[in-house]
Structure formats: structure tokens, C-alpha cells
Amino acid sequence: MPVDPPEYEHFEPFQFGGVLPTPREFSESASVILPIPFDRTTSYMPGTRNGPRELLLASAQVELWDEEVGVDVHPRGLLTLPEMDLSGLSLAEAMETIGSTTGELMDQGKFVLTVGGEHSITSPIVGAAAARHAGLSVLQVDAHADLRNAYLGEPHSHACAMRRTLDYAPLVQVGIRNISEEEAKILPTLRTQIFYDWNMRDQPDWIDRAVAALSDDVYITIDLDGLEPGLMPAVGTPEPGGLSWRELTTLLRRTFERRNVVACDVVELCPIPGMVSPNFIAARLVYKLLTYKFGLTRQRP
Amino acid sequence: MPVDPPEYEHFEPFQFGGVLPTPREFSESASVILPIPFDRTTSYMPGTRNGPRELLLASAQVELWDEEVGVDVHPRGLLTLPEMDLSGLSLAEAMETIGSTTGELMDQGKFVLTVGGEHSITSPIVGAAAARHAGLSVLQVDAHADLRNAYLGEPHSHACAMRRTLDYAPLVQVGIRNISEEEAKILPTLRTQIFYDWNMRDQPDWIDRAVAALSDDVYITIDLDGLEPGLMPAVGTPEPGGLSWRELTTLLRRTFERRNVVACDVVELCPIPGMVSPNFIAARLVYKLLTYKFGLTRQRP
Amino acid sequence: MPVDPPEYEHFEPFQFGGVLPTPREFSESASVILPIPFDRTTSYMPGTRNGPRELLLASAQVELWDEEVGVDVHPRGLLTLPEMDLSGLSLAEAMETIGSTTGELMDQGKFVLTVGGEHSITSPIVGAAAARHAGLSVLQVDAHADLRNAYLGEPHSHACAMRRTLDYAPLVQVGIRNISEEEAKILPTLRTQIFYDWNMRDQPDWIDRAVAALSDDVYITIDLDGLEPGLMPAVGTPEPGGLSWRELTTLLRRTFERRNVVACDVVELCPIPGMVSPNFIAARLVYKLLTYKFGLTRQRP
Amino acid sequence: MPVDPPEYEHFEPFQFGGVLPTPREFSESASVILPIPFDRTTSYMPGTRNGPRELLLASAQVELWDEEVGVDVHPRGLLTLPEMDLSGLSLAEAMETIGSTTGELMDQGKFVLTVGGEHSITSPIVGAAAARHAGLSVLQVDAHADLRNAYLGEPHSHACAMRRTLDYAPLVQVGIRNISEEEAKILPTLRTQIFYDWNMRDQPDWIDRAVAALSDDVYITIDLDGLEPGLMPAVGTPEPGGLSWRELTTLLRRTFERRNVVACDVVELCPIPGMVSPNFIAARLVYKLLTYKFGLTRQRP
Amino acid sequence: MPVDPPEYEHFEPFQFGGVLPTPREFSESASVILPIPFDRTTSYMPGTRNGPRELLLASAQVELWDEEVGVDVHPRGLLTLPEMDLSGLSLAEAMETIGSTTGELMDQGKFVLTVGGEHSITSPIVGAAAARHAGLSVLQVDAHADLRNAYLGEPHSHACAMRRTLDYAPLVQVGIRNISEEEAKILPTLRTQIFYDWNMRDQPDWIDRAVAALSDDVYITIDLDGLEPGLMPAVGTPEPGGLSWRELTTLLRRTFERRNVVACDVVELCPIPGMVSPNFIAARLVYKLLTYKFGLTRQRP
Amino acid sequence: MPVDPPEYEHFEPFQFGGVLPTPREFSESASVILPIPFDRTTSYMPGTRNGPRELLLASAQVELWDEEVGVDVHPRGLLTLPEMDLSGLSLAEAMETIGSTTGELMDQGKFVLTVGGEHSITSPIVGAAAARHAGLSVLQVDAHADLRNAYLGEPHSHACAMRRTLDYAPLVQVGIRNISEEEAKILPTLRTQIFYDWNMRDQPDWIDRAVAALSDDVYITIDLDGLEPGLMPAVGTPEPGGLSWRELTTLLRRTFERRNVVACDVVELCPIPGMVSPNFIAARLVYKLLTYKFGLTRQRP
């Protein structure tokens, strides 16, 4: 009966929310926040490695009571684990370690919310979740399809994050506005349904349709570049278009109301020095996910 | 017959609009812009102390003619007073000084537009206005309810700004998306009507309803974090959601058309080095308020 | 039979898109991207001189396949020419050089897409285009009318850019939210139709009406401050309001579908150090223009 | 027998050195680090309020072993207390609170190292120290004499910090390169000896002479603008000239070797976003002071 | 009997020193500070156009009393003229305008201190001074020799600034650590004496030798990149090495003591957003020049 | 007879010096510049991954003629290879790849100058050099000894860079001012001679002594934090103290004059957005190394 978190080398963790009024030990926590500052991208702007730290620093300002749901879920327990240090490993080894660590947490009954770091961390977590939830599907909010089979020869690149994820579960991809010809051509053969940013709003019920396309057990991955770049400029490869805060929260709320969300991640925060706004918004998003998870009553059909 | 502004120690003021084509002396000015770079917050990002200076520097680029109303109101007079220096005072003394100074300006017939600085400056100004306009109500645009009774033991904290204001006038609060459990619980007993950001737009006539909730004499306080953080990232505690420029200007225009606005403030600009956009937007907002005040004809019911 | 680009002193050019998979020589290129880092403004924030360089650096991350049109147009050829160095010239001489250079490129059959630099570069290019396309009209997306006859005594100032352009072609101006009294008064005598930001959306068909106001041959000039400043803060004089990405792309798509666009420019990018998002967005806009030009089939009425 | 630190409202403190290998409780600590983010200056650049936090964040990278003295002093105990929040108080009240709090710490036998915040915090601490060490003198490293009697009408302004300190103890001022005519004229009547930056090095034994001018019990105050601005640009009012790191550490080492240093402060760190170098240097200076205090054997004459 | 400054279009000027205690009208001022934000360089970092404005903003913090010379020279009059706007002119026309304007000021008996802007502005001012002081020589502090005959085809480029100056007066160049092969080869034929940064200190009397190489009437031009880049990073093309503040002030003091300095300039400040230190240092240098000019007694040989 | 560079996946390289007047093919180049943007540190500030790119961008402004040696060495050939992408590999695999690639270049007769990236890249290059030059020694300029045996459990961490290097060659370490107790204790058993920053200058001939401690064949590794942090703030863990530019260049020049330098590296540039000075200085250092290598005649004893 394991009640301790998985062990690994680490610095002392920052805690989400700073000093919480009702802190919980690991064994009492319904959820854990796991920072994985993994960042091996060769993109134009590095910096996602700092994402978890800045998100956690900003989180001390997040109001614990949610005015929309009318609840403060933090007494359910949202312990922040130490950052994972994967610097010595190959990409393949790092993927395996992420998968086994998050799987162990799931076995201990935790709702795992991972904070990246780059998007490549998603596939092993989905692998762990799919092994525990048969028929799992994935809701992805993102600007990029990330469905390349390999990028610069590397199958575990962040540009291939969702292609790897497809090995474990089918996808519903929302907000997509960057996709390569290679990906577009292979699409019909893949287990994915794409809601393109340029035309998804032409159908007013697009949010309901996206949720309906998901199976009962759902993993949610949010690449922050899925949001409008005005709201969220602190990402490595911003794209014009994207979801508004209202669209994103509506999509998430309905998903939590109608499906069983088993784990989620928020990735690709790439902080801009001197500009705290994106860090606050990412922290608020993390807490919104936990609020929906523990504060909403699931609507049975 | 006082025709001089109140006296206090100061540096030479910057003037709103830079060098105006039709400058007016204090005695000829229908309005005065009063910068109060008051900043004692313990929030994550300080810097509102620089807000008035950067707003005024940016204001030199604001076009004096307003294409919406079709008027240039600056010949009515918009003299910028020197920054108030309250550094030596306790919070309670500072509040008293702000109240007496703005009251004196009101007695001289000026439309007082204060530029903050942090939100705690609002309550004494409302106090001064309420003493001169029985039945005054307050329109607050803000992300935060600011209704705590005390914060870290301090009743004059910016987190309590509107609770103090309630001593003088009832509130209509718009765009709220951050409120604590303590505030939410005490709400039913307070003289305030809240339009929450997450659901206020569900009623298409929400702007008309907000204006209708105001009494005839109105004070307007705009915390810049009430705007969308994409548009206005330069605030101490940004929150996703918020009013668009169009929503804010529509709300303000209708308020000026239907009510007697007696004074207003724009607070919490916290400039980001190297990014002038928020400073320009705040300056434009200040001038929009003056344009609506002096350029619109009030619609009698 | 000239097949070489015009000659001028220059540094080595960056190429749009970085190292393209299907590069084309000048003679094979259907279009050329011409960077003109011209910047003599006395505005508050300089820096448009860096605009073309940062746009081109960011362009290496732009996906070449466009998911909206379903095409990759780059094999049609989009050669980037070297930056023009006009530093030694007077304003009048610089205007003449820009006009003759772009005219020469048009004579060689190129679709010329100029990247600024400040807005004053537009009028000589329109002059060159009008000399080759009788009855040309101009679609301008901008926050500022730029219709002053002179600014600080200078008729070629960026604040007069479109007044000079009127010498060559009539205008349709979209998104305008900054205009001086002088400009507003002279408007009725000018060959321009303005869609003001504050009320253009009151007519749901405003985009169709704007396109309908254009003649068959169209030049498009996009001042980046025409976009929402949240999305595009990296401009010299930001203004609240403005077009969303969706509004802008819809307007552009319909213009390309219904008119013959003969050349275009994207001007006034003023990069913010440490914030790459606006540079990416500007680069994506450039490629969107080329995609619409070469990827859409023109709809004959 | 008090073994608890003084009580005041606070957030959870950051600890100097991050997670120390040999942490000590308050009762076991030979020294305490007291952050006072006091900042009421009206100077050009605010931001000293962030100084303590950034210094403490950077301190986690400071090597605990000192290669010069050959010792790791941290097991003697260097507990970091929470930040003092003085925001509600008048200047005079704040001074009194600082004096009583630091005095209480001294009574508990602690070596008090205060981290500012602006320089005005020094005089009450010197007052507390002088009350416990008759004949105390002060070593001040600074660019500014800070000997004005009042500044903008305020006797407790940071520009008067050392004039107030003179009420409690005589001064030796090193590195001075900014002094007003008023201060220069009154100098002969004050208990201070100034080593001007422009000529102090003309005498090769200037460091020995500065130390010799101190009484046996010494308080050290280091305004970071006393250092070269190349090394330490993150101050509110930088001045060219100033001490090199080698000059400063030599001066400090000899003072600790030859005198009894009873307390000290490091003030006026004003962090620059995106530039961590000054924060590291300030943190290293704090640890150097503690290393000299607890690692050196005092040389008896 | 002209007592008015030359006329040109301008915005309202900032004043050096902010609001001076003893302001002087133009006719009473012994010196004038002339900002020329001229910036047409194609170098890597633009931004010298902002240099004069930021220097003047920072100058309000400069102490008017100089502790080295023991004097406050500002009552002699240091009026700041408005920025010159040369944006419409060709390089050759701009040079001519600068020459005639500064010449007119010299004819009115003013000590002219120009603040750049890029280095190309120096040669016309030297031309004006040489026309009024036969036998004039120039002291140049700089990292770059700037002796190219043309750069990218342009003879008035900042990279040719001192080659053009040689047409009017011989040079003594100090701190040089960047020179092209072309310049090095032509050196023996030019009227210049170079003190290279890499070896000038090998002769301990190098400062005396530099001064001795000057004729009786001297013009001083200081390119801020002549200073150490640690102290002065805010320049377009920084170079390691360079003069310390002490070396520069010693060189300047001896020049003013032994020669008749007729005018001077400080150029190439290229402000870094968020970092005020270089702006303060440049402002202090400007005031040091004025202090030496009006506060020192010239030593007759 | 291989005349091609080693092959690996890459983007298109930037070239040192931009567009060189006398470019050389790989086969003609006496030296190659190899960028390795390797960055897996968990230090406070990431960003060395951007170091090579920013150094190369800045290098276009470096003057090719060196005024100290009186030579332009670039016609000997200084081809810049593409950045190595090691993102998919484990640390151990990455080390092996770096070693084999640089070894191959050495076998082709190239002088290899590597640009980092973090310091961990040094040991495999030294391994490659030592395999080809028996009796090799290493000159290290650095603030940190980097002699830990492991850091957070990882033997290939940058904090262990020189401990790994000791497997291949003895060290002379200069400028050291950060060393842990563990390292200090083990020192007597290691093949290293340390020149501590705090006391090395006490012996005026310290530079000669450092060079004398080197064997005939020398590898030079320069961690940029070995320089003064005022000059070089753009490093991950700055330390006060450090070498001046003059000290560093003197040390390097004498090493090249008296020893056979077989290869070298410049590592740990961590660019600061908006501040180009450190990037220029690092680029100038790279070229200084090449100038000394190919421009100096070695002095035989």
C-alpha cells in the first residue's frame, strides 16, 4: 500500500498556491501537480524549462475560491511534487521514466496534472493512462497538429508529440492552425478528428461536437499556444487565431461535466522576462482544471 | 474664491497630451488630471508607482480629436496636476490627504480624473464625492471584487479598496472574476451588485442593466485589470477573461449618456519595460473618459 | 529581357522561410519579398528599422502548407531580396528610389510584397502600381487615417502616408480609430471611404461592402497597428480596438477572391526585445497574403 | 528567555541559500537575515521592494564554502526571517518598528543582517545597535552621502538616511561621488569622515585609514550603488566610479579582522528583469559578510 | 544682435537637469545642450535616436554640485534646446544644417554641447568650430577609428565620421580598438595620432602625451563606446577593453585645464529598455564636461 | 582522404563574420567553428542553447583586421559548421558523439573552435585532443572549478565538467572563485593547479606562472563567467571578481606565443534579451583566439 510519491533526485519544490490554508500530505491529496521542465526542442525560442517554476511562483496569487463553480477545491489536496530532472537521459529513456512515474502516481489513486516543459512529455503519460483506462481518448487543445512521424530524424521530438500519443489513444484536436503537408496527407489514415481554428466556429455547436467525439474516459492535454497569442504570447511558436479564454473554459467545463477526465497536462509555457501576465494565466488554467475536476458534478446522460 | 490648485511638495508635472495646442490655466480648466503614484502593495509585481508617469509620457501621442463622438474636448481644459507625494504618511493619513485634496478640487468645480497608483486611493475620493453628491453610486470595472474587510491585517490594503468604498456609496461591479470565499459569503449583506465576467454576457442587455443599477450621480473607477489581459498585460495581478475595448467603451458611453458622472479614476497601470502598448491604451482610456464627459449630450429619460 | 533583380548596395539578405525545400531563382520566382527598413519617424518608439529582419528571422518557423486553402505556394517562388539602404537620401529621393525599384520589379512580372519599415514607403509603390494598372484602388488596414497634408512641416512623414498615396489611387480604409480634426474636416473632399473601427461592425456585411468599394485592380497595404494591440503590441503607436485575426483574414481572402491584387505591403513592425510573438504573427500574415494570391482561384462575378 | 523571532504579519519566507544542508532553528542560529522590502522613494526607478526576494532567489546558487577564508559558515546558522510588511505605517512609525524589531533580535544574541529595500531603513537599526553598543561607529559604502537634513520636506527620506543615522553614531563614508552643495557646506560640523571616490585612491593606504577611523564596535551599511555600476547596474540612482569587488572585499575583510562588527545591512538592490547577474552578486556579498563575521579570527592589536 | 536660438520645427524640449533651481534664458546661458537624435545607421542595433531623450530624462537625477571640482556650474546657464528633426533631409543636407545651426550658436557666444544620435553628426560641428577657431584640433574618445573613406558607398556614414572630420582638423584618437585594414593602411598619410587601447597604457604618461598632442583650441567628441562596455553596454557596437571612468575623467580634466575647449559632443547612446544605468552615466558625463568647462581655471603653461 | 565535414542532422548554419570577403570551403579552411548549443543544466537561468546563434549573429560586426597583432586571419579559413543537434541522446551518448565528431575534424587537420552551450561539452573534446596529442594539458578560464565528481547524481553535469576532463589531461585553472568543500578537500589528489581569483594577482608574474604550468600541447577552454560579470553578465551563474579583458587577452596571447594550442572552446554564453553587448564580446573573443592562433609567431624558448 504505497503512500509515498515516487523517488527521484530533486531540488525542494515550489508549491502551487504558495502557502495553502489547508495543506495536505501526499497520502491525503486527491491530486498531484507534477512539474516536468523537459526542454530539448531546437525551436526558435527555448525557455519552456522555466515554465513550471514561473507558473508555480505566479500561482501564489491565484484565488482559491472559484466564482464560477462556487467552490474552493484545494482542501481536496493538490500537492506539488518536485521537478523531474531528466537531463541525463536519452529521449527514449526520458519518455519511459515519465511513463512509469506518472503510472505509479495513477496507481496510488492520484489525479495527475503535469506541467511542462515541452509537448513531447504527453505521449508517455497518455500511455500510462491508457494502460489503466481501456478505451481512453485524448482531447488536445493546440495550435499545432504535432502529427509528424519524425522531425529532423527524431521520432520523440515535440513536433511529433501527438503522433506518438496516437499509439495509445485516439485524438480530438481543437484549435489547430499549423499543420504540414505531410501531416495533412496522412490524416485520413489516423485515429484523429481535427477541429481547425479557421472554420470550427462555422458550426455553432462545435464545442458539443468536440466533446461528443470523445470516449468516456478522457485525457486532456493543453498546449498553451492553443490560446490566442494576445492572451498567451509566452510560447515557443505562437500562431495567430486560437481559442479565447471563454471558449477554452467552456470546452473544458463541458468535457468535465460529460466525461471522466483521468489526467491532464498544461505544456509549453515559455516565460517572457518582465511580463508576468502569461504565467498568471497558465496558473489560473491549472487551477481551473482542478476546480472542474473536483468541483463539478458529472452529468450522467 | 479659490482659483489655485491645492498645494503640496512635488516635482514638475508632465502634462497629459504633452504640449497642447490650446492649453488652459487651472482656473479655466473644466477638468484636472491628478496623478497619485501611490504604491504600497505587497503583491507579486510592484510598479504601479510608475504608472502615472508612463501614462502621461504616452499621452503625447493620443489624438485629441475623437472620431467616435466627433469632438476635440481638450479646449475645455484638462490640466495635469503634479504627482502627489504621500511617502511619509501612514495609510490612514494618506487616505485622509487624498480625500481632502480631491474634495477641494471638487469644490472648485473641477471634474477630477485621478490616475493611480494602486486601487486603495479610490475610497477617499469616493468619500469626497459622496459628501458633495448625496445618493452617489459607484461603477467599478475590475477583475477583483476587492471586498475583503482586511488583508494581512490591514484594512486600507488595495485588496480591501471597495469594501472601504462601500462606507460611502453602493457599488455596481463589472467584469469580476476573482473573489475570495470570505467575500463571496458576505456579499448578500453588502450594498453591491456584481456582474461576473463568467456569465454576465449570458444576458445580452447586461450593459443596460448595469447602467440601470446606478443612481443618478455616479463615480467611475476603472482598475485596468478589468480589461482583457491580452490588451492590458501591464497590471499587478492579471486575470484571464475581462472586458474587450468595445465592451468597456460601450459601458462607459451609456453611463455618461444616462447618468451624471461626477468624477473618475483609472488605476493599477504597472508598466512593462520596453512595451509601450499598455501605456498608450491607458492614456487613450483617460482621454475617452474626458471625451464622453465633455463631448456627449446627456440623454434625459 | 531583364531577369536580374534591380541593383543596390546591400548586406546579404535573410530569406523568408529560412532554407526553403524548393528554392527558386529570381527569374523563376512569381513573387519577391522586398524588405525596406526605412525609419525616419519621430514617433515615441523607433524600431521599425528592425522590423524586416525580425520578421524574416521568425519566418523560418512558418508552416509552408496552409491548412485553410490546402496548398503550399512556396514552390511558385518567393525570393527575398536584400534590404534597401536609403540612409543617405532625402525623403523625396528615397520615395523616388522606392518607386523606381518596385516599378522595375513589376515590369519583370513579379508580385511585389514589401515589408517595412514605416508607412511612408507605401505611396511610391502605389505610384508604381498605378502607372501600370489604370484604375487601381487601395485597400488600407490601419488604426490611423494618415491623411494629414504635412506633419511637422514634412509632406512625406509617415503621418501623411495615405494623403500622398491619394495622388495615385482612391482608398478604402479599414479599422481606422485615430484621425485628427484636420483630416476629419478635409475628408469629404478626398477620394477615400473610411470604415471606422468604432462602428463598422454595426453593419454585418461590412467586409463585403469594403471589398465592393474597391476597383478591379487592388493594392493592399497593411499597417500592423490595424490589428488588435493585444495580438500585435509591437507597433510604434498602438491603439485599442482594431481587427481580430479572423476579421483580417476574412477581409483579405474575399479581396483576393473577388479582385485582382497587384501588389501589397506589411509595414510598421516595431519588435519588442524578448517577445517573439508579434514577429511570428507578422511573418504568418506575409505568407497568408502569398497563399491567398497564389492558392486561391479568383471568383468571377 | 525568548527564543522565538519577533512576530509580525507575513507571507512564508524564502530562505537564503535555498534548502541548506545543515539548517538551523531560530534558537540555534548565530545570525538572522531580515528582509525589509521598504520602498517609498520617489526616485526615477522604483523596484527596491523586489530586491530582497530576488536576492534570496539567487542565493540558492551561492556556494556555501568560501575559497578565500576556507570555511563554510552556514552551520553556524543563518536563518532568513519573513519579509517585514510596513505598508500601513507612516515613515516615522515604520522607522520605530524597524528599530524595535532589530533591537529585539540583538537582545536575543543574533547577528542581524538586514536586506533592503531603500536606505532609510538603516538609521533605526543603527539606533538599536548604538543603544546596545556604546561608542558604536558606522562604515558606509555608498555613492551618495545621504546627508541632507530633509528631502522634499521629508526628514526620513532615503536621501537623508545617513543624516538621521548621525543622531546615533559617527560615520566613515567610502566611495562617495554624489553630494549636494547643502551637504558639502554642512560637512565640517558633522561627525563624519568622507573618502571621496575621486581621490581616495591617491593615498595607497586608504583602506587602512578608513578602518582606523572606526571605533571598536562597528555597524556596516552597504548601499549597492557604492559598487561600480558596471558590476552593479541594478540600483535606483547609479553613479560612474565606485568600488571594485576587490576593493570592497578588502575593505570589509580588514574591518572584520580589526573591529567588532555588530550588525550590517545591504540595501538598494533594484532588480532588472531578465538580468540575474546583480542579484547573484548581492547574494554573494551577503554571504561574504557572514563568512567574514563567523569565519575570520579577529586580530587583536 | 541675435539673442534667440536658431529656429526649426520641434516638439517641446526636455531640459537637462529637469527643473533647475536657477534656470537661465537663452540669452543668459553660457552653454547650450543641443540634442540631435540623428540615426540612419544600418548597424545591428538601432536606437541612438532615443539616446538624447533618455539622457535628458535621467539627467534630472544628476547632482548639480560636483564634489571633485567643488562647484555647481548650472547657474552659468545650460539651456537645453529642442531636438533637431532632420528626417526629411538627405545625409548631405543634414550635415549642412547641423553645421550652420551649431555655427550660429557659436556666433552667439554659446558653448555648444551636442548630444547624439550617431557619430556622423560630429564632422559638420567640427567644421563650424574650425571656421571660427583656426588651428583647431579634435580629441576623440572612441572604440572605432571611423576613418573609412566610405561605407557601403556612403561617405557620410557613421563609420566614416572621423574621416570627414579630418577635412577640418587633425585628430588625437584615444581608446581605439576597432580599425579596418583599409584604415590601418591609410593611417600614415592622415593627420591623426592614435592611442590604441591595447597598448596605450604601456606608457604611464599616456594621458599627458595625448593632451600634449592637441593644439590650443580643442573640440572634444566622445563616442560612448570608448568607455568599458561593462560600464556602458548601451551602444550600437560595443567592444571589450576601453577607458574606465577614472581614465576618461582624468583625460578630460587635463584637457580642460591645459587647453581651450571650444565645443564638444557625446554620441551613440543606444538605450536598453529597463536598464537606466547607462543613461545616468551618459548624463553625468555631459555635466562633468560642463563642470570642467566652467568650474576649472585653465592652467597657463 | 576525407575533405567533407562530418555529417549530422542540422538546420542551415549562420556563418561567423556574416558574409566574409574571402570565404573558404571546408577543405581550404585552417579552422572550423563548431556550434554545440547543448543545454541540459538545471541551473537558475537556462538559455545557453541560444548562445551560439546570438554569438554568430553578433559576429557580423566584428572587425576582421586585428589592430593588436596587425593581421586579418580570416583568409586562412574559418568555416562555421552547422549546430549539432544532440537532443535525442542521453548525456553519455551526447558526450561520445561530440568526441567522435571533433576527433574527425582534428584528423582532417582542422583547428577546432567549439562554441557552447554548457561546459559539459569540454571533456569529450579534450578526450579527442588528448588521443591525438600525448601529454596534452588544459588551460581553463572559469569562475567555477567544476570538479565535483557528480552533481544531483549525474557525473556528466556541467558542474562536473572539469572532473571528467581530468580523465584525459591535467589542468591549469584560472580565475576560480567558486568551489565546494567537497572539491576543495579532494584537490590535493587531483592533477590540477588552481589560480584563485582572490589571490592570484598577489604575485605579479601570475600570468607567466600559469603559462609555465602548461605542457607543450595545450587545449584552452573559456567559460565566459571567468570574465568580470560587469563585462559579461550573460552567463548562467555569474560571480563577482573575475578577469578583465586585458588580463584575459594577455594570458591568451602568452599561451599562444609559448605553447602549441591544438583546439579551444568558448562556452556558457546565456544571452540577455535586448542587451547585445555580451554577445559582441563573446564573438570578439572567438576571433581573438583565431587571430592569436594564426597571426602570432610562436616563440621558441
DSSP states of C150-191:
-BTTBTTSGGGHHHHHTTT--EEEEEE-B--HHHHHHGGGSS
Q: Chains touching chain F at 3 or more Cβ pairs under 8 angstroms?
A: A, C, D, E
Candidates C69, C280, C291, partner chain A, best to mutate (most A CBs within 10 A): C280
Mean of pLDDT over chain A: 91
Residues 6+ apart with CB under 8 A from A266: A55, A113, A114, A115, A116, A222, A224, A282, A285, A286, A289
Which residues in chain A have their CB less than 8 angstroms from residue D11's CB?
A: 18-19, 60
Provide the shortest C-alpha distance from residue F196 to chain D (in Å): 8
C88: nearest CB among E9, E11, E154: E154
The confidence score (pLDDT) of residue F3 equals 54
Question: pLDDT tier at C87 (50, 70, 90 boundaries)?
Answer: confident
pLDDT at position A45 is 58
> Residue A214: pLDDT band by 50, 70, 90 thresholds?
very high
User: Is D150 within 8 Å of chain B by CB?
Assistant: no
Q: Which residues pair with B144 in a beta bridge?
A: B178
Percent of chain D with pLDDT over 70: 92
Interface test with B, best of E9, E12, E16, E56 (most B CBs within 10 A): E12
Q: Which residues contact C124 (CB under 8 A, 6 or more apart)?
A: C95, C96, C98, C99, C102
**C-chain residues within 8 Å CB-CB of F19?**
11-12
Does residue B56 come out as left (phi exceeding 0), alpha (psi in the -120 to 50 range) or beta? alpha
D9 touches chain B (CB under 8 A): yes
On chain A, the residues whose CB falls within 8 A of the CB of B45 are 276
The answer to whether the Cβ–Cβ distance between B68 and C274 falls below 8 Å is: no
> Which residues does chain A have within 8 Å of residue F37's beta carbon, measured at their own beta carbons?
42
Q: What are phi and psi of F299, to 5 degrees?
A: -85, 115
Instruction: Give the pLDDT mean for D100-106.
Output: 96
Opening angle at CA B33, ends B28 and B38, nearest 5:
150
Neighbours of C200 (CB within 10 A): 19
pLDDT at B151: 79
Q: Are D270 and D234 in contact (CB under 8 A)?
A: yes
Contact list, A43 vs chain C (CB under 8 Å): 61
Render pLDDT for F144-177 as a digit per residue (tens, 0 to 9): 999 999 877 778 888 889 999 999 999 999 999 9
- F298 versus E71: the higher-pLDDT residue is E71
Read off the amino acid at residue C65: W
Q: What is the pTM of this model?
A: 0.92
Interface test with B, best of C42, C272, C279 (most B CBs within 10 A): C272
Q: Which residue of E lies nearest to D184 if distances are taken between CA atoms?
A: E67
Q: How many residues are listed for chain D in this entry?
A: 301
Task: Kindly provide the b/e burial profile for residues C268-286, where b requires at least 16 CB atoms within 10 angstroms of the residue's own CB.
Answer: bbbbbbbbbbbbbbbbbbb
pLDDT of F154? 77
Tens digits of residue pLDDT in D277-290: 999 999 999 999 99
User: CB neighbours (10 Å) of residue C56?
Assistant: 23
Mean pLDDT of chain D: 91
Q: How far apart are CA F226 and CA F251, in angstroms?
A: 13
Number of C-beta neighbours around residue E224 at 10 A: 31
* F240-275 residue pLDDT tens: 999 999 999 999 999 999 999 999 999 999 999 889
Q: What is the DSSP string of B185-232?
A: HHGGGSSEEEEETTTGGGSTTHHHHHHHTS-SEEEEEEEGGGB-TTT-
**Quick one: average pLDDT of F61-67?**
93
Chain-centroid distance of CA A173 in Å reads 13
Q: Which three cell numbers stand for residue B144?
A: 477583483
Q: What is the pLDDT of residue D2?
A: 45
A58-75 residue pLDDT tens:
998 899 999 999 999 999
Residues 211-250 of D with CB under 8 A from F: 228, 230-231, 245-246, 249
Task: List the single range of C246-260, F8-22, F162-176 with lowest mean pLDDT.
Answer: F8-22
In Å, how far is D8's CA from the nearest CA of chain F? 31
A9 touches chain D (CB under 8 A): no
Q: Does D11 touch chain A (CB under 8 A)?
A: yes
Task: Let me know the angle formed at the C-alpha of B209 by B205 and B212, rounded to the nearest 5 degrees.
Answer: 140
Ranked by mean pLDDT, the top range of A90-99, C6-15, D26-35, D204-213 is D204-213
Q: Which residue of B has its CA nearest to E20?
A: B12
Nearest CA in chain B to A231: B230
Q: What is the pLDDT of residue C20?
A: 80
Q: Are E43 and F60 an interchain contact pair (Cβ–Cβ within 8 Å)?
A: no
Among the listed residues C149, C166, C146, C167, the one whose alpha carbon sits nearest the alpha carbon of residue C158: C146
Query: Is the omega angle on the peptide bond into residue C135 within 30 degrees of 0, that is, cis?
Result: no
Is 90 exceeded by the pLDDT of residue C283?
Answer: yes
Q: How far apart are CA E271 and CA E55, in angstroms?
A: 9
Are C158 and C199 spatial neighbours (Cβ–Cβ below 8 Å)? no
Residues in chain B: 301
Q: Are strands F31-36 and A260-267 parallel, antiparallel or unpaired?
A: unpaired
B67 closest CB neighbour out of C45, C198, C229: C198
A180 contacts on C by Cβ (under 8 Å): 63-65
Phi then psi dihedrals of residue F171, to 5 deg: -120, 150
Report yes or no: D257 and D295 within 8 Å, Cβ to Cβ.
Answer: no
> Mutate which of F40, F57, F86 to test chain A, going by most A C-beta atoms within 10 A?
F40
Mean pLDDT of the F105-122 span: 95
**Mean pLDDT, chain E, integer:** 91
How many residue pairs from chains B and D have C-beta atoms closer than 8 A?
66
Instruction: Evaluate whether A146 touches A162 at the Cβ level (below 8 Å).
Output: yes
Cell of E16: 537637462
| Best mutation target, E49, E84, E86, to test chain C (most C CBs within 10 A) | E49
Summarize pLDDT for E111-149 with one digit per residue, the tens: 999 999 899 999 999 999 999 999 999 999 999 999 999
- Residues of E with Cβ-Cβ distance to F277 under 8 angstroms: 229, 233, 235, 238
pLDDT value at E1 more than 50: no
Do D71 and D292 touch, CB atoms closer than 8 A? no
CA distance E247 to E224: 14
Strand segments (E) across chain B: 31-36, 78-80, 111-116, 137-141, 171-176, 192-196, 217-223, 260-267
How far is it, in rounded angstroms, from Cα B225 to Cα B241?
10
Gap from E69 CA to chain B (nearest CA, Å):
28
**8 Å CB contact between E79 and E33:** yes
Which residue among E198, E233, E237 sits closest to F67, beta carbon to beta carbon? E198
* Chain C residues with beta carbon closer than 8 angstroms to that of E119: none
Name the grid cell of E6: 536658431
Report the pLDDT value the prediction gives residue C43, as an integer from 0 to 100. 52
Give contacts of A50 with chain F, Cβ < 8 Å: 46
CA-nearest residue of chain D to A57? D57
The CA distance from A249 to A288, in Å, is 8
D19 touches chain A (CB under 8 A): yes
Report residue F41's pLDDT band, with 50, 70 and 90 as the boundaries: low
Give the gap in angstroms from C-alpha C21 to the nearest C-alpha of chain F.
Answer: 12
Nearest to C44 among B61, B63, B284 (CB): B61
Nearest CA in chain B to E274: B273
User: Is the CB of residue D185 less than 8 Å from the CB of residue D231?
Assistant: no
Cβ atoms within 10 A of the Cβ of B2, count?
11
C partners (3+ CB pairs within 8 A) are A, B, E, F
Check: CB of residue F209 under 8 Å from CB of residue F173: no
Looking at chain B, which subunits does it touch, using at least 3 CB pairs closer than 8 Å as the criterion? A, C, D, E
Q: Does C61 touch chain F (CB under 8 A)?
A: no
Written as one letter, the residue type at A171 is L
Determine the distance from the C-alpha atom of residue E15 to the mean position of all C-alpha atoms in its chain, rounded to a whole number.
18
The answer to whether A115 and A36 have CB atoms below 8 angstroms apart is: yes
Question: C293: Cβ–Cβ under 8 A, 6 or more apart, which residues?
Answer: C31, C73, C111, C256, C261
E9 has a chain B CB within 8 A of its CB: no
Name D266's bridge partners: D115, D222
Closest chain E residue to the Cα of B14, Cα to Cα: E14
Q: So what's the pLDDT on residue D32? A: 94
Q: Do C88 and E156 touch (CB under 8 A)?
A: yes
Distances (CA, A) of B291 to B31, B257, B285, C228, D63: 11, 12, 10, 22, 59
- Candidates B198, B224, B225, B276: best to mutate against A (most CBs of A within 10 A) is B198
Query: Please, where are the H alpha helices in E108-205?
Result: 122-132, 161-165, 181-186
pLDDT of C301 higher than 70:
no
The average confidence (pLDDT) of chain C is 91
Furthest-apart CA atoms within chain B: distance in Å: 52
Question: How sure is the predictor about D7, in pLDDT bands with cuts at 50, 70 and 90?
Answer: low
* Chain F CB within 8 Å of residue C21 CB: no
Is E182's Cβ below 8 Å from some Cβ in D? no
Q: Which residues of E touch D228 (CB under 8 A)?
A: 230-231
Shortest Cα distance, chain E CAs vs residue D180, angstroms: 5
- Give the neighbor-by-neighbor strand order of the sheet with C78-80: C78-80, C31-36, C111-116, C260-267, C217-223, C137-141, C171-176, C192-196
Of all residues in chain D, the one with the smallest CA distance to F227 is: D231
Provide the grid cell at D219: 555597524
Residue C21 distance to chain A (closest CA, Å): 12
Which residues in chain D have their CB less than 8 angstroms from residue E64's CB? 180-181
Average the pLDDT over each of A174-188, B46-60, F130-144 and give the range with the smallest value.
B46-60
Neighbours of D6 (CB within 10 A): 16
Residue in chain D nearest E285 by alpha carbon: D240
Dist. CA E287–CA E64, nearest whole Å: 8
User: Percentage of chain D with pLDDT > 90?
Assistant: 73
